Amino acid sequence: MNPENLARRQRSFTLWPCVLLAAALLSACQPPPAAVEPVRAVRTWVVGTAPAQSQLEFAAEVRARVESRLGFRVPGKLVERPAQLGQTVRAGQVLGRLDPQDLKLGQDAARAALGAAKAQSDVAESEFKRFVTLREQGFISGAELERREATVKSARAAVEQAEAQWRVQANQSGYSTLAADATGVITAVEAEPGMVLSAGAPVVRLAHDGPRDAWFNVPEDRLAAVRALQGRSGQLKVKGWGPDARTWPATVREIAAAADPATRTFLVKADLGSAPLALGQTATVLLPGPAAPAALMLPLTALFEHQGKTQVWVLDRSSMTVQMRPVQPVAPQGNQIVIAGGLQPGDTIVTAGVHTLTAGQKVTLYVEPKP
């Protein structure tokens, strides 16, 4: 082979690795192809005007019409309290007992005093009979007989006083047992065994069976509207919380005359009638508000925050793309909200997946899958 051709071939073999390396480096420096943005399926809502539901909502608690704080009529040490929180009790059932020793001693002392008074009365009666005979025989004066008669009357009065005192002590001995005065449910326990209680100190709180009320508080600016409904049957609506969230009619029965010093609100009690709401259950009272004009209503799920403003996604049906538009929310109405500006009737907005969209993104309308 010609030496020149051999040298040329050797140079070509040497350059090929360099060319391949340079091509690999150039291909690595090129940016990757842009990812194709997915076309998302969205739920939409056509904006329209509707009358705003003007009603006020207040949190309420279902309570018994009559609720008593029961305690002992006499002081003593609490030795037993069978009543438990939430327990259903019947009328006459024992709720607590005091140590009866001191009360029994007082009863015994009153019984002994009654026996002594009766003995003194018997002696006075016998002496008076003898003095009557002596007066008939002329041995004593009429004044002496009158004095003996006064002694008899005093002894009889002492017997009556001792007998009354014995009955009082007997009653107090019976007061060492606390019994339920009506059928109901124990809603609070305020004393434990071992405590020394004064007379009248509350031990348990008993909610009587019977009518139920919804208790709620209203501010002063809504008090006139509530007063206008007082005594009007079924003007309020009470909605229970929980899985069975049905609505029941109620009637304003009682309104506090003065505001609560801490909250400056007025307590209102509404009669629930025959509504099967559990004692202590939380409920919502729906109070009719003033009439409101028609307004733009949107679902709450359509709103999101962007750069400190409330925004919605508006769908352009010609290009099937979405764009952000600021709105001015006014007041919520259940699961919807009243909008003051930013949209026009007939605009189509996105109501689901608003946090996954970008401006100008193409979308499709969501179609419910067939079962």
Residues 106 and 133 in one domain: yes
Number of domains comprising the chain? 4
Domain with 340 in it: what CATH number?
2.40.420.20
Give the residue with greater pLDDT, 337 vs 249.
Answer: 249
Q: Which domain holds residue 192?
A: 67-96+179-207
Answer whether residue 295 shows pLDDT above 80: no
Residue 33: inside a domain: no
Residue at 332 is within a domain: yes
Q: Which of 106-115, 128-137, 164-173, 239-248 has the lowest mean pLDDT?
A: 239-248
Residues 355 and 331 in one domain: yes
Whether residue 136 lies inside any domain: the answer is: yes
Q: Are residues 84 and 193 in the same domain?
A: yes
In the prediction, which pLDDT does 10 show? Answer: 53
Element (H, E) at 153: helix 142-174
217 and 185 fall within a common domain = no
Percent with pLDDT over 90 in the chain: 23
Residue 274 has pLDDT above 50, yes or no: yes
pTM of the model: 0.55
Is residue 35 predicted with pLDDT exceeding 80? no
Does residue 192 lie in a domain region? yes
172: confidence class by pLDDT, cuts 50, 70, 90: confident
pLDDT in tens, 63-96: 998 889 999 999 999 999 999 998 999 999 999 9
Which residue from 244, 252, 339 is spatially nearest to 287, judged by alpha carbons?
252
Q: Which of 262, 288, 314 is the last residue of a domain?
A: 288
Mean pLDDT value of segment 343-359: 86
d(CA 103, CA 9): 129
Is 297 in the same domain as 361?
yes
Kindly state whether residue 327 falls inside one of the protein's structural domains: yes
| pLDDT attached to residue 13 | 47
- Average pLDDT (223-243) is 85
Within this chain, do residues 226 and 332 fall inside the same structural domain, yes or no?
A: no
The domain spanning residue 145 has which CATH number?
1.10.287
What distances in angstroms separate CA 298 from CA 43, 88, 290, 327, one per listed residue? 13, 48, 21, 10
Q: What is the CATH number of the domain that holds 222?
A: 2.40.30.170
- Reply yes or no on whether the pLDDT at 8 is more than 70: no
Q: Which residues of 264-293 are buried (b: 16+ CB within 10 A; e: fewer)?
A: ebbbbbbbbeebebebeeebbbbbeeeeee
Token code pair at residue 327: 């709105």
Q: Does 185 lie in the same domain as 92?
A: yes
Q: With beta carbons less than 8 A apart as the criterion, state whether 192 and 85 touch.
A: no
